[in-house]
Structure 1
Amino acid sequence: MRIVTRIVLPIVIIVLLLLSTSLVIVKEWEKGLQLRFGRIVAVYDEPGIYFKLPFIDNVRIFDGRIQTLDTPPEPFLTSEKKNLIVDTFIKWRVIDPEVYYQKVSGNPGIFNRLFEPIVKNNFRAAFGKRDVQTVVGGNVTSKGSKYRDGSKVIVVDKPSDALSLDPKTLEEIHSEDVDIVIRSKENVVPVIAGQEVDLNNTIRQEIERTILVALSVEAKEYGVEIIDVRINGVELPDDVTDNVFKRMRTERERVATELRSKGEAAYIEKVAEADSNRTILLANAYEEAEKIRGEGDAGAATIYGEAYGQDPDFYSFYRSLEAYKNAFQNDGDLLILDPESDFFKHFQQKQ
């Protein structure tokens, strides 16, 4: 029994050790390569359990999840030769571990360092075709407008479709003579320069989509798929920003001064119009009042005349009373007249 134990136990241990070193577990988010003396003998594209020769084969496992290449803010010249500070990033993942290993030894850091200049060059070319106002303003290319005269446009359904384009077209893409646009729901037909196209996207989205396709062509050489391309932000350099703010401030001040001048002119015009209307209204009112007063005086004269005709003595007496009333209506009034004056004749008459 002891002899069996001494023989079997080491064999079992050796078998278990060989099994543990010959099994390779590839998880859902991983991809791998099996190397034998430095030569690739198997590619692990799918998750599962794989076998290898222990102590002979080596296995390299790569992260197949989406990774990020975040480029630092970079100044790019526009078509007007003005700098814009552009912050971008791309999302990528490994799709061909064999090519990925051969190109960058399976190191994502090496890939990022090698691919970053390619990303910058594509963005530099895209911004070099457009002016500051177009990029910063984010104008929308609407239906019925022409894309860019003098450039050829290829519309594809998805980035991978660009990989199957003919070599001549790919060469034109790399020479920046061609723009590639990924078809959106509204895009229905491929177009060339001068034909109508409905991108229904902002200029930034247009740039992102064009670069996404261009980078997908480049990334294929690294065994990598580009998932997304984004522009984090577009800013003007500090000196340009200061100048822009100064121009904006000057323009706002000019507009404010112009508005104030217009307001002052409108105020003066309204005041003059109101004064004119007031003068006219007062003149009309005075004219109407004088007319009414004249009519009243004429009516009163008529009544006085009729009264005088009916009873001249009473009329004379009444008029004298009115004169007395008006002459002595204030305290301290003093009137010096001849007692024989007609003014006092009614005082001298006997009842």
Structure 2
Amino acid sequence: MNRVGFFVSSALVLLALLSSMLFVVDQRQFGVVYALGEIKDVITEPGLNFKLPPPFQNVSYIDKRLLTLDSPDTEPMLTLEKQRMVIDWYVRWRITDPRAYIRNVGLDEAAGANQLNRVVRNAFQEEINRRTVRELLSSKREQLMADVKREVLEQVKGARPWGIDVIDVRITRADYVEAITESVYRRMEAERKRVANELRSTGAAEGEKIRADADRQREVTVANAYRDAQKIKGEGDGQAAAIYAEAFGRDAQFAQFYRSLQAYIASFGKKGDVMIIDPNSSDFFKAFRGGGAGGAAPAPGKK
């Protein structure tokens, strides 16, 4: 029984020892083997590997994938015109040399991100200090990001290489600080109102001009029409007078009688009209007294 227990415990010890000597490197990682705190080997290919059991050798892992570093703070930066701008950015980077990375940066990805953040922020500050807000927002934005990337690469690949590679540097947002943004919005609102009022004034002036021109054209048209109407009316009156003269010239007594009838119609046009005249002495009722078309008629006797 003691022999069986001895064999079982020995087998368990061997399995534990063997498991401590085996390790698996994932395809997304570097495997770094340490011997008494010193880097012994770096495993770059995925698979099963062997090492001495602790404490003689230990293994740690470092990510070999493409990493992203986002700007962690919103502290404003000054442009060439001394305008305070808030810049949000990100960096795509990866570890390429684990030995140099561990010696010069740190044991994990967080250490590299912290130091890289400082270098990238300083590079952005230096480049933004050389540019205006307009250049930052439009014309020279791509050049700014390229210059920042170049400066960061010079830092990480200098006399003491970090063992990393910077793939890309990008600006995601560039904006004024909150206090300046509010004043900018107010200026923009005032400018839009000024433009709107100017457009309204211009429109009102154009409207008045159009209305004045339309009124002038209407007056001219009405005057021309009245002139033409009066001309036609005058020609008609002239023709009528000529016709009357010709007709009345043929029979003077009938013309006088006709005119008297027209005068009677005009004088007694309404039912309640009253005229006080001596019919015997007035020529107005001569047609009545004549007893015919202009003939003399005896005056009515008095009763």
User: Normalising to structure 1: TM-score of the pair?
Assistant: 0.73
Q: Over residues 174-197 of structure 1, what are the superposed CA-to-partner deviations in whole Å (9 max), with x where a residue is unaligned?
A: xxxxxxxxxxxxxxxxxxxxxxxx
What is the correspondence of 1:98-247 to structure 2 with a 5 Å cutoff?
98-136=99-137, 138-139=138-139, 203-220=140-157, 221-247=161-187
CA distance in 1, matches of 2:106, 2:87: 30
Give secondary structure in 2 for the equivalent of 1:347: helix
- Name the aligned partner's letter for residue 343 of structure 1: F
CA distance in 1, matches of 2:211, 2:110: 76
Matching residue of 1:174: none
CA distance in 1, matches of 2:214, 2:163: 82
- Name the aligned partner's letter for residue 29 of structure 1: R
Matching residue of 1:312: 252
CA distance in 2, matches of 1:79, 1:285: 72
| Larger RCO, structures 1/2 (Cα 8 Å, 6+ apart) | 1
Q: Would the aligned equivalents of 1:74 and 1:87 in 2 still touch at CA under 8 Å?
A: no
Give secondary structure in 2 for the equivalent of 1:93: strand
- Name the aligned partner's letter for residue 224 of structure 2: N
Give secondary structure in 2 for the equivalent of 1:297: helix
Q: Over residues 170-227 of structure 1, what are the superposed CA-to-partner deviations in whole Å (9 max), with x where a residue is unaligned?
A: xxxxxxxxxxxxxxxxxxxxxxxxxxxxxxxxx4344334423433443442222223
Matching residue of 2:60: 60
Give secondary structure in 2 for the equivalent of 1:13: helix
Matching residue of 1:342: 283
CA distance in 2, matches of 1:261, 1:10: 100
Q: Would the aligned equivalents of 2:135 and 2:141 in 1 still touch at CA under 8 Å?
A: no
Matching residue of 2:205: 265
Shift of 1:338: 4.0
Unaligned runs of 5+ in 2: 293-303
Matching residue of 2:77: 76
CA distance in 2, matches of 1:253, 1:9: 90
- Name the aligned partner's letter for residue 64 of structure 1: K
Deviates more, 1:95-104 or 1:225-234: 225-234
Give secondary structure in 2 for the equivalent of 1:230: strand
Shift of 1:101: 1.3
RMSD: 2.5
Q: Over residues 103-129 of structure 1, what are the superposed CA-to-partner deviations in whole Å (9 max), with x where a residue is unaligned?
A: 233222222222222111111122122
- Name the aligned partner's letter for residue 83 of structure 2: K
Matched pairs, number? 286
Q: Over residues 297-337 of structure 1, what are the superposed CA-to-partner deviations in whole Å (9 max), with x where a residue is unaligned?
A: 11110110121133333333222222211221123223333
- Structure whose alpha-carbon radius of gyration is higher: 2
CA distance in 1, matches of 2:23, 2:123: 40
CA distance in 1, matches of 2:277, 2:250: 30
Give secondary structure in 1 for the equivalent of 2:272: coil
- Name the aligned partner's letter for residue 47 of structure 2: G
CA distance in 2, matches of 1:301, 1:316: 15
CA distance in 1, matches of 2:97, 2:273: 126
Give secondary structure in 1 for the equivalent of 2:75: strand
CA distance in 2, matches of 1:252, 1:17: 77
Shift of 1:70: 2.3
Deviates more, 1:35-44 or 1:248-257: 248-257
- Name the aligned partner's letter for residue 60 of structure 2: R
User: Normalising to structure 2: TM-score of the pair?
Assistant: 0.83
Q: Percent identity?
A: 38
CA distance in 2, matches of 1:215, 1:45: 26
Give secondary structure in 1 for the equivalent of 2:90: strand
- Name the aligned partner's letter for residue 112 of structure 2: F
CA distance in 2, matches of 1:19, 1:249: 75
CA distance in 1, matches of 2:239, 2:251: 18
Deviates more, 1:246-255 or 1:68-77: 246-255
CA distance in 1, matches of 2:286, 2:245: 22
- Name the aligned partner's letter for residue 32 of structure 1: G
- Name the aligned partner's letter for residue 282 of structure 1: V
Shift of 1:131: 0.8
CA distance in 2, matches of 1:254, 1:219: 52
Q: Would the aligned equivalents of 1:22 and 1:53 in 2 still touch at CA under 8 Å?
A: yes
